Structure 1
Amino acid sequence: MNDKKVLRSLVMITQIGISMMVPLFLCAGIGYWINGQFGIVAAFPILLCLGAGAAFRNLFVLTKTFYAKDIQKEAKQKEYMENLKAYHEKHPDEDFSDVMEGKKKRYPDPKGPTRS
């Protein structure tokens, strides 16, 4: 499993590099070509900035999908803690210190047995 994560991370780094360089060099090349053909000096910097914007947009989209599972896991943990706090408000006489510190779960997991 650890090798799979390392390989996935390596592929992601490579993909990010390619996804950032292609729009940057493509727009810079088109800007340089327009400058040479038509003499429009402002084309190169404008297209270079456009390429940089596209590169950072690609970076955002790729990293967002890469961390989607972690975000979902954090949302489930947050929901669990909110449900636990709501239960504690309804049952204030019960001791929840071991659950709140993360030593054990209050409710059993639907996927398997509760572990203490």
Structure 2
Amino acid sequence: MSARGTFLAILFALTSSAAVLADEPVTIGAIVADPEPHHMHMVALQGTVQQVRLLDPYRQPSGTVCYGAYLFTLQDDTGSLDVAVLGVCGLAVDSPPEVSDGDKVLVT
């Protein structure tokens, strides 16, 4: 992670092809430098997956347990940020993350 801080993004969809509802991919550097214009907007980010980290199951306020959550660092030519994948709630699944270190991905 860069010294200027990190940005935690919730992963809404992960896709390697097909059209996305967001505009052209935004650079990570643009978001880190000026996050306000992107706040509460869907953006597309493109980069390389690094440092995939599995998370322990967690409990929602409703009591439902969620499984399969993980984090990874998304890196492009302008910077990096952490992406959180929330997993599946209410169903005990034991599946590996959908991404691996070195994968090229488009996150929206």
> TM > 0.5 between the two?
no
Q: TM-score, normalised by structure 1?
A: 0.15
Q: TM-score, normalised by structure 2?
A: 0.16
- The structure having more radius of gyration, on CA atoms, is 1
Q: Which has the higher strand share?
A: 2
Question: Which protein has greater RCO, CA pairs closer than 8 Å, 6+ apart?
Answer: 2
